[in-house]
Structures are given as C-alpha cells and as structure tokens.
C-alpha cells in the first residue's frame, strides 16, 4: 500500500508467524481497550457497522453483538482469514481484503470504528480517510477512533495528530473523549447528541 510504510505482504508474514501478533486475546491492556471502545458507543444497537483494519477479529466479535450487519476488512489477506475463523458463528458479518483509504467501500454506515490504523498512514491519506468516513456516515451515525500513543517503528503520526484530523471536519461533533497515557479514544457524531439526549432524558 503506497500510503503505508509496510506493504500488505509485511502484515501477511506477521500473521503467518503469529495469529495474534499484538497479543489481542491475552493482553489485559488490549481486552480493556476493547471494552472501553464498546462502552463508549452512544447507542446500544446499530444497523450497519464498518471496521477497517479488523486484524484477527477480536474487536469485531464485540461489535458484531451491537450491529445488525457488520462489514470488516484488512489489508492483510491472512488477517481476514483469521477474522473469518474467529467469527465463524456470526452470520451478520462480511469480510473483505481492502486497502484503506483507497478502497473505501461505497456504502453508508451508522457505525464506523477505526482502531490502530491511521498512524500507519500519511497525513494526506488520513485526511482522505476522514473525509470518506464522514461522507459514508449516516446522519444518526457514530464514528470512533482509538490509537496507541507510544512511539513505534513505522509510525508516521501521533494519535493526537490523527484524531485532530477527524476533529477538524465541520460535519463531526465530538461527543466522547477518553485520554490516557497509553491510548486516545474519541467518538464523533453528526447530530452531536449525547446518550441522555438520544433517550429524551436531557
């Protein structure tokens, strides 16, 4: 992928050597991060969700419980295979190999979850991704981004820089922010309504 420091083959090799290269299944940090992500969703149920960079499907498994339909993709064919195996019992999930943002799907979603992806991209590619995500987000939709804040080899941007790109879009209103030393989690919507407002409580 031209916008990433590592080609798809790099990630394919990574997953062939280890089907859980970032210890998503066993790491408490990763399990807690997934729980934080789904807890931050302002709506209980979604019609159509999209998770690019799904990796081996650990977060996808939780998102599938909240979506009528969930579409997931990854640049790595091997990761997509692992995600399909992980969610074999879920009949509401579709899987594809896609390079994001160039191959962003031509569809509308009321939930888009972007995790641990954009710091692999250039600023220009991140801006393109943000614009495509915003364009495909329904008026009542939710856009989530969560990224690791520590440096690592191949990282092109900080989590704060990535999230500022989304935050700068006039159509998006940030409704949740959770910031820690290790991670940054933001949630945006177009209507800007809080959970209580959505339920008519405020």
How is the chain split into domains, by residue range? 8-198
Q: Residue 130 above 80 pLDDT? A: yes
Evaluate if pTM is beyond 0.85: yes
Q: What is the pLDDT confidence band of residue 17, given thresholds at 50, 70 and 90?
A: confident
Condensed to tens digits (0 to 9), the pLDDT of residues 62-92 reads: 999 999 999 999 999 999 999 999 999 999 9
**Are the C-beta atoms of 166 and 172 separated by less than 8 Å?**
yes
What angle in degrees, to the nearest 10, is found between the helix axes of 77-86 and 8-17?
50
Q: Residue 196 above 70 pLDDT? A: yes
The average pLDDT across 46-54 equals 97
**Residue-level pLDDT at 82:** 94
**Residue-level pLDDT at 20:** 83
Residues of the chain with pLDDT > 90, as a percent, come to: 83
The average pLDDT across 111-115 equals 98
Alpha-helical (H) ranges within 6-104 are 8-17, 28-39, 58-64, 77-86
Q: Residue 1 above 60 pLDDT? A: no
One of 3.40.50.300, 3.40.50.2020, 3.40.50.150, 3.40.190.10 is the CATH number of 8-198, namely: 3.40.50.150
Condensed to tens digits (0 to 9), the pLDDT of residues 158-188 reads: 999 999 999 999 999 999 999 999 999 999 9
Place of tokens 């888009």: 112
CA quadruple 163, 137, 108, 142: dihedral, nearest 10: 80
Q: What is the pLDDT confidence band of residue 14, given thresholds at 50, 70 and 90?
A: confident
Q: Residue 5 above 60 pLDDT? A: no
**46 vs 155, higher pLDDT:** 46
**Residue-level pLDDT at 2:** 46
3-class DSSP string for 162-200: HHHHHHCCCCCEEEEEEECCCEEEEEEECCCCCHHHHCC
The average pLDDT across 9-32 equals 85
**Residue-level pLDDT at 168:** 97
């Amino acid at each position: 992928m031209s916008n990433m420091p590592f080609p798809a083959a790099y990630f394919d090799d990574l997953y062939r050597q280890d089907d859980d290269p970032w210890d998503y299944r066993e790491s408490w940090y990763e399990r807690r991060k997934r729980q934080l992500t789904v807890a931050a969703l302002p709506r209980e149920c979604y019609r159509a969700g999209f998770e690019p960079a799904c990796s081996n499907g650990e977060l996808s498994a939780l998102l599938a419980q909240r979506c009528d339909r969930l579409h997931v993709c990854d640049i790595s064919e091997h990761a997509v295979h692992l995600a399909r195996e992980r969610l074999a019992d879920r009949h509401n999930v579709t899987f594809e190999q896609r390079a994001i943002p160039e191959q962003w799907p031509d569809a509308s979603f009321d939930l888009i979850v972007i995790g641990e992806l954009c710091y692999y991209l250039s600023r220009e590619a991140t801006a393109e991704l943000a614009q495509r995500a915003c364009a495909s987000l329904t008026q009542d939709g939710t856009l989530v981004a969560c990224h690791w804040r520590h440096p690592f080899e191949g990282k092109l941007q900080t989590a704060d820089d990535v999230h500022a790109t989304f935050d700068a879009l006039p159509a998006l209103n940030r409704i949740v922010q959770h910031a820690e030393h290790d991670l940054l989690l933001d949630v945006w919507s177009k209507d800007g309504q809080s959970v209580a407002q959505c339920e008519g409580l405020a």
